Structure 1
Amino acid sequence: MGKKQRGRAARNARRKLPPNFENEEVKRAPHVLVFKRGTTVGNNVKELIRDMRRVMEPFTAPNLKVSRKNGLKDFIAISGHFHVTHLMTFSKTQLSTYMRLIRIPRGPTLNFRIRRFTHSRDIVSQLKRPQTFPKQFEHAPLLVMNGFQDDSIQIKLIATMFQNMFPSINVTNVDLSTIKRCVLLSLDPVNGFIEFRHYNIKIAPSGISRAAKKLLQGKVPDLSRFNDISDFMYREGNASESEDESTGNPDENEVILSQQLRSRGNLKSNQSAIRLTEIGPRMTLELVKIEDGLCDGEVLYHTHISKTPEEIAELRKRTSDKKRLKEQRKREQEANVKRKEETKKNTQKNSSQQDEEDHMDEASNDYEE
């Protein structure tokens, strides 16, 4: 077996990868870029951006570097090459922190106000048994939506936007072992706030004792205090069907598995319990407005401002006039650039002809002498 490539050899091997080495399934999956907008957002918002990049893995850029010179047009320009379908931006003002979701390439744009948020490290630090490990971020999370049954246009757009940000799942051939996380969006019908939660999913066999569960999971028990294995299996306190992490009625979170999982003890057609552990971040979102296009189109919905049909018609006329004037200026600028290039070419041509004539005159004078 050859040695592991390191240093220059590894970099050269990565450079030799073909430009389209990703399979079609990865290309079709939605890709989201998460970054900040504005010069000063603060350390709390920067950490929230890192947490959201962690949520959107693996179809995101976890180490994306954004400079002050990078504008929104720069990210839109590269979106086609890297199969980017959505942009998630965070900004901060004196009033509040805002999150914007942009659909590439034609919109719409959803603007949310973040009323409250909690970082992942703060949530994990409060857990007795944190469930965070690198392999859980190798696959996209499962999206669960609650309370989005309203037929209003803003609720439909919100639901469609979030659904398109995560890969779709085919229930007939999905591998249950790849579902390690879930994102929960819950809409409060009273105030219209959206609660964002991020959980780790753990599936454990149920209906067996703790001792048998430890043996199935490959954990070697301490048998020095027992005379026989039966003492360990049937001792007092080992008869519970699940560990202390279960909450509520055990029957509500128990399912019959349709396929065998990679984890030990979770066999096909057997009963297992689903455990959800929050790993963060946590956000409370309030929809502010919905815009058509990429942050510069017509306002389709606004939470705090309502306009009459006459005001809407006047605003549309003003927007169309502004767009027409912009296109006219663009055509005039292109014509001016073209005219200047032609003038420059003619000047260079005349200058070269004059130089050639002067050279011929000098040659003829030298011949006469």
Structure 2
Amino acid sequence: MGKRKRGRSVKKNLNQNIESNELVRAPHSFVIHRGISGGDTLELTKDFRKVMEPFTASSLKERKKNTIKDFVAIAGPLHVSHLSIFSKTELGMYLKIMRLPRGPTLTFKIHNYSLARDVISSLKKQRVVDAAFKHSPLIVLNSFSGEGLQFKLMASMFQNMFPTLNLTNIDLNTVKRCVLMNYNPATKLIDFRHYCIKITPVGISRGVKKVVQGKVPNLSRCNDITEFFTKAGMMSESEAEDDPNNHVVLAQKIASRGNVESGKSAIRLSELGPRLTLQLIKIEDGLLDGEVLYHELIHKTEEEKEEIQRKREQKRKLKEKRKKVQEANKKAKDELKQKLKDQSLKGMRKDTQNESNTELEKDDDAQYYKEDVGEEPDKDLFSGPTGVKRKHEPLRYKNKKKKSDSIDQKNRTNQNSMNKGNRRMNKFNKQNTNNKKVY
């Protein structure tokens, strides 16, 4: 035989389920929206997903029937560590950031916001690089060193939402974005900003910068190329407004032209959006349901806190009691099912045993008949009572006749009528011959 021709198939990748340690350890996030539909809630949710890329579900499809438990259930296999919820009520918009799977939960009220498309359209020079969203942004916190539990929890939550950076082996080419969180102690508001980072060389004229960056210069107004490089006032873009604090010495080689290792460069920021003005309202210990650790608007006494704790403990004990009762009922139901199943099996065994006994009795009767008479019994002698229809025999109807039988009966009736007519003719001819006169 010839060789069997195999069809096209995809090669099995043995390492397709193995993920790198960097990917597993990086904090992942879900960003969803809840509450009253309409407005800019959906657009703001999409903009915030863009900020959290690449370790977020950018195309997450959510429905109204999905609950928080659904997202918590699938968070473990997908290494999701944070859940952000944008909600809209009659009083305003809120942002809830929670740590999965057990909390805490931070609730912020959104006083002002601007969408990413509005921020970019307001800029004179728009700079949006798709490659910048392939790496996570830097997180910069300002004025979060105040006294109080809320400052520590906010700083820890914001820092853990983004991957940590190792300064010893970081690649500067991957640093393309940054997120700025500024806390204002006077107003107790947090300013959220999202920027794109651009590094430009310092100390060269605009003409040199264009040539270095590979751009074709316009020499129509110059008599000589040296005039283009030495023309007065041809400084680099916004170089006169540069702050010396923005100048840095590069420790690595950057992919962009004009920036060399150990050279001086300037850091420029271009806003990407969105803009948010947040105010911390509440901090809960659990996942949307736990002890309130901090509240900006409501302050309770120690007695009220103890009463709330006592009610919470009673609720927890009642829940455990109901759970035990449910487990006991389930166990009793399973035992009853098993008992009924055993009884049905016993009944089936008795029926099969009775059938086997009847078959043995029939065989014994046939053997006794053979020994006494000396002949084999008829097949239907010990097969059971006559007139009993077996399951394998087809049903028969008395009144139903075959088509061939009806045809034969019709032919017989026709033949009888013909014979009767012939007898009548013979009798008539005989009478006529007897009555005939002889002349």
Q: Normalising by the residue count of structure 2, what TM-score does the alignment of the two structures yield?
A: 0.77
* CA RMSD after TM alignment: 2.0
The structural deviation recorded for 1:343 is 0.7
Q: Does 1:161 align with 2:154?
A: no
Residue number in structure 2 paired with 1:176: 172
The structural deviation recorded for 1:146 is 0.8
CA spacing shift, 1:131–1:147, aligned 2, 3 Å: same
Q: What is the number of residues matched between the two proteins?
A: 355
SS of residue in 2 equivalent to 1:37:
strand
CA spacing shift, 1:247–1:163, aligned 2, 3 Å: farther
Paired amino acid for 1:32: S
Larger CA deviation: 287-296 vs 170-179: 170-179
CA spacing shift, 1:193–1:248, aligned 2, 3 Å: farther
Residue number in structure 1 paired with 2:205: 209
Q: How does 1:1-369 map to 2 (within 5 A)?
A: 16=13, 18-38=15-35, 40-238=36-234, 240=235, 242-244=236-238, 248-365=241-358, 367=361
Paired amino acid for 2:237: E
Paired amino acid for 1:204: T
The structural deviation recorded for 1:180 is 0.6
2 CA distance for matches of 1:350 and 1:18? 51
Tell me if structure 2 keeps the 8 A contact 1:109–1:294: yes
The structural deviation recorded for 1:20 is 3.8
Residue number in structure 1 paired with 2:376: none
Larger CA deviation: 252-261 vs 276-285: 252-261
1 CA distance for matches of 2:64 and 2:332? 34
Paired amino acid for 2:149: I
The structural deviation recorded for 1:205 is 0.4
The structural deviation recorded for 1:34 is 0.9
2 CA distance for matches of 1:159 and 1:41? 31
The structural deviation recorded for 1:94 is 0.9
| Greater RCO, CA 8 A, separation 6+ | 1
SS of residue in 1 equivalent to 2:40:
helix
Larger CA deviation: 304-313 vs 18-27: 18-27
Tell me if structure 2 keeps the 8 A contact 1:214–1:220: yes
The structural deviation recorded for 1:19 is 4.9
Larger CA deviation: 163-172 vs 64-73: 64-73
2 CA distance for matches of 1:17 and 1:148? 47
SS of residue in 1 equivalent to 2:269:
strand
Paired amino acid for 2:60: L
Paired amino acid for 2:110: I
Tell me if structure 2 keeps the 8 A contact 1:257–1:267: yes
Residue number in structure 2 paired with 1:3: none
Paired amino acid for 2:301: T
CA spacing shift, 1:208–1:52, aligned 2, 3 Å: same
The structural deviation recorded for 1:61 is 1.0
